[in-house]
Structure 1
Amino acid sequence: MAKPRPLLGLLAGVAAGLVASAAMAAFQHQAEKLLPEEGGDEDPATVKAVDQASAALAGAPVPEPWREPAGLAVHYVAGAVLGGIYGVITEYKPEASAGFGGAYGIATSALLDEAAVPAAGLAPGPDGTPLARHAYGVASHLVYGIVLEGVRWLIAGKR
């Protein structure tokens, strides 16, 4: 096995994470149209997260004109961080790219959508989420993982 290149892995992963986040957002924009109406106009978890942070730091939620851009920033920062982690992991354990990044994408779905986001009170738990919404989350993260690996591979090469 070749010697690990953690800095290259990190940089490739962050760059790939940003591209994969854009692909995920594009997929979600189209896939949302296929989901049944849930009757609510609730903010996405990213906006709720930035509101919580803003309330803790500034004592008030994010002002209305900044809510959507702030939520997008959270989406891209999370994607870049997860991509950086993935890039470093694949330098040491190439098998982490199983399924051309699909396994990592599904793992992020389980970790974020099914565990961390509900635990933080940003979305209902798995039992309170419709099946179509679960499938949407898994598919979105699968897109993220596959694009993440594709771009990481283009930058850092095969391990």
Structure 2
Amino acid sequence: MSKGPRPFVGLFVGIAAGLVASAAMAAFQVQAQKLLPEDDGDPATLKAADAASEAVIGDPVPEPYREPAGQAVHYIAGAVIGGIYGVLTEYKPEASAGFGSAYGVATAALFDEAAVPALGLGSAPSETPLATHAYGAASHLVYGWVLEGVRALVAGRR
């Protein structure tokens, strides 16, 4: 007998899986960045933290808190995106296609290629080197695989 959708289970498992997947993505990025040319610019997560700080206190994130603030944005975004995935897979199991690959690629397209440039947190896709696009896509694939792995382990395959 097939169980119906469990949106609250999906949400909470998705959030937890999103946090684990964010950690895996960060670990992958530390290693992958060694293969890319040095980039002196701030990552989009830190730019987003600065924008939030400026909206609240009128100044960017103070220097001692910059790195943790960028990481907080990374993990909060990962948890939110994971929660959405968890609920989505409860209603549409096919959202886990390719063991999370489709969702990972979709998040890369939505965030790296569309939202980040649109919000002024990064360069336009046409101004971004191909290696940077590949790095972003690979990072989000890792996120998608780990997200689905943890979600399926905890909540079960749908």
Find the aligned partners of 1:41 and 1:49 in 2 and give their Cα distance: 17
CA RMSD of aligned residues (A): 0.7
Q: Partner residue of 1:13?
A: 14
Q: Partner residue of 2:27?
A: 26
Find the aligned partners of 2:37 and 2:115 in 1 and give their Cα distance: 24
User: Cα distance, 1:158 vs. partner?
Assistant: 0.8
Q: TM-score w.r.t. structure 1 length? A: 0.97
Q: Partner residue of 1:4?
A: 5
Q: Partner residue of 1:126?
A: 125
User: Cα distance, 1:36 vs. partner?
Assistant: 2.3
SS in 1 for 2:131: helix
Instruction: List alignment gaps of at least 5 residues for structure 2.
Output: none
Find the aligned partners of 1:136 and 1:101 in 2 and give their Cα distance: 17
Find the aligned partners of 2:37 and 2:44 in 1 and give their Cα distance: 19
SS in 1 for 2:22: helix
Q: TM-score w.r.t. structure 2 length? A: 0.98
Q: Deviations over 1:90-119 (max 9, x none)?
A: 000000000000000000000000000000
Q: Deviations over 1:39-61 (max 9, x none)?
A: x4111100001101111110101
Structure 1 segments of 4+ aligned residues over 6 angstroms from their partners:
none
Q: Deviations over 1:56-100 (max 9, x none)?
A: 110101000000000000000000000000000000000000000
What letter is aligned with 2:55?
A: A
- The answer to whether the aligner puts 1:156 opposite 2:141 as a matched pair is no
| 19-28 or 51-60: bigger deviation | 51-60
The number of aligned residues is 157
Find the aligned partners of 1:105 and 1:157 in 2 and give their Cα distance: 19
Find the aligned partners of 2:66 and 2:74 in 1 and give their Cα distance: 12
Q: Partner residue of 2:46?
A: 47
Find the aligned partners of 2:116 and 2:150 in 1 and give their Cα distance: 26
1:138-157 pair list within 5 angstroms? 138-157=137-156
User: Cα distance, 1:2 vs. partner?
Assistant: 2.3
User: Cα distance, 1:157 vs. partner?
Assistant: 0.1
- The answer to whether the aligner puts 1:102 opposite 2:140 as a matched pair is no
Instruction: List alignment gaps of at least 5 residues for structure 1.
Output: none
